[in-house]
Structure 1
Amino acid sequence: MKLNHLNLCVRDLTEAIAFFQHLFEFRLLEQKGDAIAVMNDEQGFTLVLSKMRANLEDYDRYPKDFHVGFYVDTAAEVDQFHQKLQAFGVASEHEPKWMRGGYTLYFTALDGILFEVTSFNE
């Protein structure tokens, strides 16, 4: 069985598209107005971004431990990503560091979604 896609609900679809294009090199395949966008990466993973409905304000937050994680091959790539993130204007709470067996960067973006970029190699 192969995970085919993930639907991530976001408040600002335009911001989320730019975020995934510039930082994670996803390609925009299709967009339906300001409601939904379909993207994919170099490995063939499909990311669907859908705009949260405004009338669901009490139910539109992800749980505290929810996060989106990416693996890269080397610790240097984590550092390079951190520099790219800063240049894009997204702050991280800390520098990348070794934890739980990997070199990891955590940061929050897109109105509160936690992201992780990790390498298990030096």
Structure 2
Amino acid sequence: MKLNHLNLTVSDVTATIDFLVKYFGLQNGNTRGNTFAVFFDDGGLVLTLMKGKQVSYPNTFHIGFIQESEDRVNEINQRMKDDGFDVEPPQRSHAWTFYVRAPGGFTVEVLC
């Protein structure tokens, strides 16, 4: 069995689209303004975004993007810092990792 679909409710679909495409290379499949979007990754995952009036995820909820190297994690971290995101430097935990609050109201882990 393979998980192949995930839907996230977000406060701003357009800003979330820009974030996911810019930093993680997701391919945008279809959008309906600032209300709905479908994305695909190169592994077959389908990620949908739906605009919600109230977005509230538990503190521990997050999605993760595994990278091929520590250098790639560092590069994404620096790009996000340069673009004004409030990110701490990567650290050694269960992996070389950092977390960032994505536009739309959810947390993303970047790791290798």
Instruction: Please indicate, yes or no, whether the TM-score normalized by the shorter chain is above 0.5.
Output: yes
Look up the match of 2:102: 109
The whole-number CA distance in structure 2 between the counterparts of 1:115 and 1:29 is: 21
Of the two structures, which has the highest relative contact order with CA contacts closer than 8 Å and spacing of 6 or more?
2
After TM superposition, the structure 1 = structure 2 runs for residues 40-51 of structure 1, keeping only pairs within 5 Å, are 40-51=40-51
Matched, 1:91 2:86: yes
Counterpart among 55, 68, 75 of residue 70 in structure 2: 75
Look up the match of 2:8: 8
Amino acid at match of 1:46: V
Amino acid at match of 1:76: D
Q: Kindly tell me the number of residue pairs found equivalent between the two proteins.
A: 112
Q: Is the 8 A contact 2:10 2:105 kept in 1?
A: no
- Residue 19 of structure 1 deviates from its aligned partner by 0.7
SS at match of 1:84: helix
- Residue 111 of structure 1 deviates from its aligned partner by 4.8
Q: TM-score, normalised by structure 2?
A: 0.90
Structure 1 regions of 5+ residues with no counterpart?
Answer: none
SS at match of 2:99: strand
| CA gap 1:44/1:87 in 2 versus in 1, 3 angstroms | farther
Structure 2 regions of 5+ residues with no counterpart?
Answer: none
Look up the match of 2:23: 23
Amino acid at match of 1:48: T
Q: TM-score, normalised by structure 1?
A: 0.83
The whole-number CA distance in structure 1 between the counterparts of 2:102 and 2:45 is: 21
The root-mean-square deviation of aligned C-alpha atoms, in Å, is 1.4
Matched-pair identity in %: 34
| CA gap 1:17/1:71 in 2 versus in 1, 3 angstroms | same
